[in-house]
Structure 1
Amino acid sequence: MTFFSRELITMPNKLKAGVISLAIITLLTIIKFFAYWLSGSLAVFSEAWHSFSDITTTALVVVTLWLSCKREATSTSIQPTDAQPDTATSETSWKDPELLIALFISIWLFIIALSIFLRIISSEPVLVTNPLITGVVFILLSFGSFFIYRFEAMTADIENSAALKADSQHNRTDMVISLLTGFSLIIYHFGVNLDKYISGVIALMIFLFAIETGINTLLAMTKHKHGYLTEYRITTMIFSLFDRHIGNKIVGWFCDSVDLNQNNRDSLASMVGVSQKLFRYTLIIAALVTTMVWISTSLVQVEINQQAVITRFGQITNPGKPIEPGLHFKLPWPIEKANKIDTTKAITIEVGNVSDKNSALIWGKSHGDNLEFMSADNNFFQPYISLHFRISDAEQYYLNTTDAKQLASQICMQELIFAFSRYKFYELALYQREKWVSEAITKIQNRLDQLQSGIEIVRLDLKDFHPPINVSNSFEQLVAATQTRETMINQAKTKHNVMIPDARLKSLELVSEAQSDSNNKLQLALGESKKYLLQLDSYQQYPDIITKHLQLSSMLNSFKGSEKIVYEPQSGISTDLLYKERFLFKRQGDQEQEESREKRFQPPQKTKEVIRRAPIRD
């Protein structure tokens, strides 16, 4: 510790400034990367990598300062006291390590700016978390960058260090960038998303600062100076392009450098004048065209198969009401942006294994990937499944989904693995295919709805479902036997389905007939009982008539089947006489009937043949 303190005390001031700046920048960079992990902001990412480049450039500055101090100490110890220092030459200026490191810083910043531009163009919108806290942290970090900038600038002025001067300007830019990043995150907290635009501004500032540092460094090298001089600011360089006398200055400098005569000077000046006018007119036309193109971004043409979500600085201006097909107006880019989404096209992805289009789907032949899964009965198999889906909610899809195919594929794979673990192989392939496919579609859709992805499952196609190739023959034989068994079972079920309805019909007929007979007998019994009750009532009202009627009815029933004679008792006819007369007449009539019956059934008698003889002649 004593040695380190002694070395730090004896260290030159510009080297001390570089070491202190390197330590502070390293701490600030660690905090910025932690802030990126906390928020996920693209602007924070750009600033964190910019600070990481600060560590590299500052470390190179420290190394350069150390080499420079070492060289100065060596030259001081060797050079005589009365010797005069050499003047700067072209060779020493181009080999000055401080100017070289300043040039390297400009090139490194140029590369960083281009990488940030590429990331801004290629990246998708991200959801920034904890924007308010991160924004406040970056505003506080900007004070750290300001301290480093002032510290290095003061030390560079005192020590006349070109490397420290360039690095101080770099930290000044870092201070401004930290402030912009902090304010953009605070604005994001209140619903305005400037994350990408601030990232672009950061990249542009880094790019302009790289140009400024590089040009000033090259000028210092060409003028054979030992030190970094900020002769031209980037704003001065930009405004000088529109100076009408800049062409003459460039021509004069070039002619003096190559020592041209007056005629060539005049010709070159005329050419430069024409080129400068052409350049100005080109800029004016380009500005007009750019303005017209910028205004045209207010028109939005939504196709018949699309819906559009309008965002203003990342915030949706039409929540719940996506723009329908047609021509619409909005504020120009980048204030408002139209995000067109195809909501009618069905998207197809392969899940499980991807099959070869030119190969037949045969169990005994490889026709694509051979990724194997396991069923509930520990059988390995290779599924070839296609998932079809579409975008049903454009707003939810824009807010919550970045890669629809990847999201649907991952969720579908998870649910299919779960389904495979619950069913046996032949249940998956044959017996319960519709059941588990329907369950899988329902679960996949529920998962997508929980994530508010805006994706709707259209269908799940099971193109092929086969076992490993080396055991495919055994499975085919088993499947054939299973199909035969299923055929016999289906035939038995068919017979069962025919016999059972017939038996049920007969049983229904018997039951219906029994119920009908029961009802008839019941109704007859009820009728008889009512009849008896009515007769009883009549008998009670007219007992004489009913008694006589019952007597006659009893007599009729008693003499049923016998011959009856009705006579008037007061006529004086004796009953004995009637009986005898009827008996005698009946016997005589019976005899006559018997004789006639005998004659009717008596066989016919043969007549006696008469033999005729010839007459006797005298």
Structure 2
Amino acid sequence: MTTRKKAALISIILNVLLTGLKFIAFAFTGSLAILAEAWHSFSDITTSVLVFISIRERRASPAAPEESGDESKSIPLEYQISFLIGLLMFFVSALLIWKTVTGSAPVIENSLLSGIIFIIFAVASYIVYRFETSVGQKENSVGLIADGMHSRADMVNSLLIGFSLVIYRMGVNIDTPVALIIALLILSFSTETMVNAVMAYKRKEAEYVFRYKTTTIVLSFFEKRTWNRILKYSEENFTPKIISSALLVKVCKCFCAVVILILGSFYASECIYTIGPSQEGIIERFGKPINYKRALQPGIHFKFPWPVDKVIKINSKSIRTKSIGNITDEGSFALLWAKKHGTETAFISGDNNFFYPYLVVHYRIKDVFEYRYNHIDPEILLDSAASRVISNIFSKKAFYEIVTSYRKQFELDTVRLVQNKLDTLNSGLEIINVNMKDVHPPIFISSSFEEVIAAYQKKEELISKALGYKNESMPRARGTQVRLLKRAQSYVMDKTKKASGEALRFKMQLEGYKKSEAVMVKKIYLDFIKEALSKNQKIIVDPSSGFPEIWLDSKQLFKSSKIGLD
């Protein structure tokens, strides 16, 4: 196998792999852009196959002489395949354009992950592009180089889709415009394929090459010589005798076969369908549901084609929003009472004040069968039930209470009461939460309401300050009370314990006195002598030294001496 054939075969395998992955990605996302890109990648497979066939045919007969006679009129296989593929892609592009123009913007699942995957696909297409062009330049193969250019276009489309899927996660949906752009590229490719197949057959080219681009083809229609050639060719060839020619019969048969093949393929594709990750499905057979109370879960499913079966897909797991009461303008950001920022449908409060509430209900579908078959429009039912509930609640509450302290409890009460009402009506809806975005009075009396609200706020401020002072003073007073009480209790306990101790000590001493009375008398006597003599000056004479012979003037001695001896 030559290098050219190996390169063409490798590119076929890579393109088949990428195309299959893109069709799988469409099944799990529902993106029209991915569907269009999958068909565009399918066109890359066809060009790679045509290049492979032309290289093989050229290799099999490198120096074949020019055919003559009837053989000169035979159309080479690659040109026939090329023309039929171009016709097929033309119908595909037309259907894609019709679907993008007439259909609504799809809901895309797993957009961020799919966007990253398509950026990886773009890298893979770039590798195929570099591989084919490098081999084509080395082997001097114009077909491989042209096929590589198609892979480069596929790379650009994959990058565009990856970008659109990433920004879809941010809330910007450009999936339909991107799908339309890719569908137009497929239309351009199909036109190029058919024109180049016809021109290659006329020129007897050995290798299949895309020589004529869409711009060249379109501009040629504005040239006078092009129309002259078409008229001349028609006069020379399209005479009554050609109607019965074998070539015309063969072309008609091929055209009918292609049309039948396309219609059959699309009709057969109706047998396979997918349910998205956030969807549940209902299948109807001749208008009657056959899976009642057993909703189809996400995945790939099979059914009979139209008009037998019909699949209804419902986004049951996604959270929906519904504005109740009044609707805020998208361009209004400052929620000021003196400024109109949405519709103004008046509600009345329990104290006979008119006001405009702006509420948003978040809900989802919990039973697709009740949602589909019990009511014509469940959203209108939700709006009516919620409006009745909030009107009833507002009529029992004062305006100031509604805009201040009751807001959180109002949301909880609304969820409970609206859900009970919807369950009674078997609506199939589940209320997630209710958000009161804004409440304001009529604009022409908003200044008066602001003054009243300011007075209420001042009142609440004074009450809060008084409560704060109370909460601060009462604990301090209680603490002082407890401290004084504990101090008095400790004083009483201290005196009581001391008195008890003194009494016990005296009692024990008394018992000791009774047991040794003589000792105690002597002790008392000595204590008395000690106490009596301790306050007077004394002269102590040692009896062992004898009686003094001369008594000194004791008075004079006491006056001159400051010393007393014990």
TM-score exceeds 0.5: no
The alignment's TM-score, normalised by the length of structure 1, stands at 0.40
Q: For the pair shown, which has the larger CA radius of gyration, 1 or 2? A: 1
Q: TM-score, normalised by structure 2?
A: 0.44
Question: Higher RCO, 1 or 2 (CA under 8 Å, sep at least 6)?
Answer: 2
